[in-house]
Every structure is written in structure tokens, then in C-alpha cells.
Structure 1
Amino acid sequence: MTQVILETKRLTKEFRGFTAVNEVNLQIQRGHIHALIGPNGAGKTTCFNLLTKFLNPTSGQILFNGRDITADKPAQIARQGIIRSFQISAVFPHMTVLENVRIGLQRALGSSFHFWKSNASLNRLNDRAMDLLAQVDLTEFAQTMTVDLPYGRKRALEIATTLAMEPEMMLLDEPTQGMGHEDVHRVTELIKKVSAGRTILMVEHNMKVVSGICDRISVLQRGAILAEGSYAEVAENPQVMEAYMGSTSAELEGAHA
């Protein structure tokens, strides 16, 4: 099996004459944590939406495990093992933490939202659900209503719900956005923990998160790849420093120090 799990070839997206993503060639290595970073307006979100099939490209190709998935729908790529977290795994606030993970397991079994099933039938999923909660340090919150969870714990629950789908590749959209320092550290450690045996692609603004856990980084600017490599390599790239400017370049230097 090839080491490249996800690849794009000249991936391009235009909106009424504006090129948001411009002939992007990406190669995501199997088993890596790979980050997409870049200044505001660089095209990260558009690129991410193309990869997760929430947008269709104007031109170019997307390959997963060597198969062309350019024309596939989000549900089709989910069945192949590409799961977008924090999007399709949105939690149900007025269900317990355990019930949310159980819904994720039902999705994986193809029996989504069979709320009319007997409790005995659904309870058979409890052991696996509790195992997933243990992986993200939420065992003690199993019977807590999700609406009552702190923000960082909700993100951990979203990871557990995503894991219930048994992804081969997880795509994380700003996993630490809006978090305090303690929650950022907790979720970063969780991402590192759940990356064992799978590939993760993430869009992330927090450079300390990126520097701490990512194997490879692609820097976008004006819709094109500006630089690619390890964190140390991109942090020392003069073009990257110039693209970020001001406070964000200081973040790059600070995280690298």
C-alpha cells in the first residue's frame, strides 16, 4: 500500500472569476498529522471544504488511497473512511454524552437515528461507547447532559463521536479555536493520542499546537502552496515569515523557540 493516503493534483476552485484555490498539489502521508496553515484569506477553508467534498472543484483531482474521489459526495467519502470532525459529528446538546457517542456508533453501523429501537438493543452499544469515552477522558461525564459540558470537553466529545465512525483519516477544522490554554493543551494531547493508527489533516491557527504535534505542514498564500515541510523548515522560510507579517510571524518564532 502506498505511503500517500490523500493526494490532490492541480486542485483549483474559482468563485465568479476569483481563484480561491490555485492548482494545489498536496500529498498527505499515511499515519502523519498534517496541518494546513496560512494567513487570513489564504484559501485554507476553501481547500478543506474541497477535500471534504462540501465544495466541488473547478478543476483538478482528489485521490484517496489511489482512487479518484473528485466527484464523490461527503457521505460517499465518509463510507470510505474520511471523516470530517467538528462538522458532521456535531453533538446533540440535550442528550447525554454517552447517548451522543452511541449515535455515532449507529451511524457507523448504518442504523442512524433509530430512536425507536428498544433500550436493550441500544444498550448493546454501551460498552464500545464507554471505551471511546475513556479514550478521550470523558468516562466520568457519561451521564452528563451535553449542553452542560465545558467547551473544551464538548470538543473531546466530538472527537469521540468521530472515532465511533472508525475513520482511516480524520479531518479537523480548527480543533482548538476559541479555547483557553488548559483546554488547548487537553485537546492537543487527545489529537496526538487518537492519531495512532490513522492519518489526521487539520486546519489550525494556533502555531504552538502545530509545532507540537504535526509531522508536516503546508502553508497556503493566496490560494497556492507557499511552502511545505516540517515545522522547523517552514518557520525559518523567509517567504512564510513575510506572508504572516506582524504578530503572527512572532507566533511562528515563539513556537519555534
Structure 2
Amino acid sequence: MPDQDVILRTQGLTKAFKGFTAVSDVSLSVRRGSIHALIGPNGAGKTTCFNLLTKFHAPSSGSIHFNGTDITALRPAEIARMGVIRSFQISAVFPQLTVLENVRIALQRKLGTAWHFWRGKRSLSRLDARAMELLDAVGLASFAHLGTAELAYGRKRALELATTLATDPELMLLDEPTQGMGHEDVETVTALIKRVSAGRTVLMVEHNMGVVSSIVDRITVLQRGAILAEGSYDEISRNPHVKEAYMGTTDDEQALPVQAATEAA
């Protein structure tokens, strides 16, 4: 894949914890403008890999390049400022604030007043129009003035997408975006991810194979911290090594179940 087509590339990425290797020699290329999924059985190293990419963990060895720049030694805040923004498995919103105020906080960095907490609310009113645009994009405009604590779980995850978009990410890292959701919420959030991915790149860890099969362009399968296979959903679902890792079978006639559960490592 030509370098100009690759937004994120890792070479030999490895992380060991006191003798246990959680991620082993992972070389990954994420195509610009694509939705790319990391999947794998429980304990495969998916979330550890995300922690390495966003520098919540320092790699034991290997390198990480974003837009051709080596970011291996950078701190999490520096990587975020470059346009790599991550969501987490656990809902991360301010429950005591309104839905609109949550998005406005994410937008506040652009004013250059991010730490001027003593300024009045009126100084932030210029952000309201953009905040409402983002809420409309994720179907939450009618909830703008509702307390965030009152939102249903699926809508809280939609709000997280809005706050993530508010930072103008070039690369969005979504960690289990549909975890804990009912079927209806899963469909809603899946459609939102597809919609907001326009003009951006998404790298996601996801356990729901229905989500993966419906929106993902390319899949990387991890097992015991190493890459087991890569390809399209059709290629991965028929790969005998992947089927053995998930289901204990190499039956060529049996594809991966749509709802195969692969919780984050």
C-alpha cells in the first residue's frame, strides 16, 4: 500500500508486562478514509494495542507512524492534538452537565480559553451553533438541554461521538462502541459511525460481528497479541485459522457467527 494512502502504520509493535507479552510484533497499516476493525478472541490484546497507539502504554519495542510522522515517543496529549482521538469502552461524559454543554466543552479548545474557567458562560455562546450541528448529526438535537444523566445508554454513546467529532479528528479510535447495548441501540450507533466516518478514518475494536460485517472495510484479527489474519469480512469469516481461534473448528463450510462475542483484552 503506497505511503500516501496510509494514515497509521505500526512496525513490530510489542508490549511486555513483567514477562508477559500482551502485544507481539504487530505491523499494521490503516488506509486513509477507511473503517478498519481490530477483532479477536478474549485476551487477544486489542485494547492493549489501542493503549499503545494513544500512548497510554509505552511500547516495549516497535514504532508508530501517523501521516508519515514517527509518534512513538510522543505523549497522549500531543498525539490528540495531531488529530488522533480515542473513545473508551466506558461511557465518558459529564453527567451533571446538559447534552449541549458536553459538546461545548469539547469545542472550547478552539477558542484558546480551554483553561479559563472563571470566564462567564456568555463567552462560550459562540460555540452553540456548531454544538447544535454536531448534536443534529448524531440525532441528539432535541435533547440538547436535557441533563446528560437522564440520557439512555445508547444516546450517551451517541453523545460521545458528538464530543469526539467536536475535536475535528482525522483518525477516530473507537473502543467497543456498541458494548452493552440492546439491538436497537446497536443499529443506531452503527449507522452513526458509518455516517460520521465520511472524510475521516476509523479504527475500531468491536465484539459484535454484525457491526463489523456491515460497516468495516478491512479487518485485522489478533490472537495472543499477534496478528493472525487480515482481509475483508468475507475473507476473514472463511479463514480456517480465524474460525479455529473463535470456535474451535476449521470446518470450511462454517463461517463466523454474526454475533461472535470477542470482548476487549
Structure 2 unaligned regions, length at least 5: 261-265
Match of 1:99 in 2: 101
Match of 1:67 in 2: 69
Report deviation, 1:127: 0.4
TM-score by length of 2: 0.92
Match of 2:236 in 1: 234
Counterpart among 10, 13, 16 of residue 8 in structure 1: 10
Assess, with a 3 A threshold, how the Cα gap between structure 1 residues 242 and 88 changes in structure 2: closer, same or farther.
Answer: closer
Assess, with a 3 A threshold, how the Cα gap between structure 1 residues 238 and 108 changes in structure 2: closer, same or farther.
Answer: farther
Counterpart among 252, 256, 259 of residue 252 in structure 1: 256
Report deviation, 1:85: 1.7
Report deviation, 1:146: 0.2
State the AA in 1 paired with 2:102.
N
Q: How does 1:171-250 map to 2 (within 5 A)?
A: 171-245=173-247
Distance of 1:184 and 1:255 partners within structure 2: 12
Report deviation, 1:110: 4.1
Paired residues in the alignment total: 255
- 238-247 or 127-136, which deviates more: 238-247
Q: Deviations over 1:103-155 (max 9, x none)?
A: 00013444325332222211111000001001000000000000000000000
- 182-191 or 238-247, which deviates more: 238-247
Distance of 1:43 and 1:86 partners within structure 2: 15
Distance of 1:158 and 1:212 partners within structure 2: 21
Match of 2:135 in 1: 133
Match of 2:29 in 1: 27
> Is contact 1:219-1:225 (8 Å) kept?
yes
> Is contact 2:134-2:162 (8 Å) kept?
yes
> Is contact 1:97-1:143 (8 Å) kept?
yes
Distance of 1:49 and 1:62 partners within structure 2: 12
CA RMSD of aligned residues (A): 2.0
Report deviation, 1:45: 1.1
> Is contact 1:86-1:155 (8 Å) kept?
no
% same residue = 69
State the AA in 1 paired with 2:165.
L
Match of 1:42 in 2: 44
3-state DSSP of counterpart to 2:256: helix
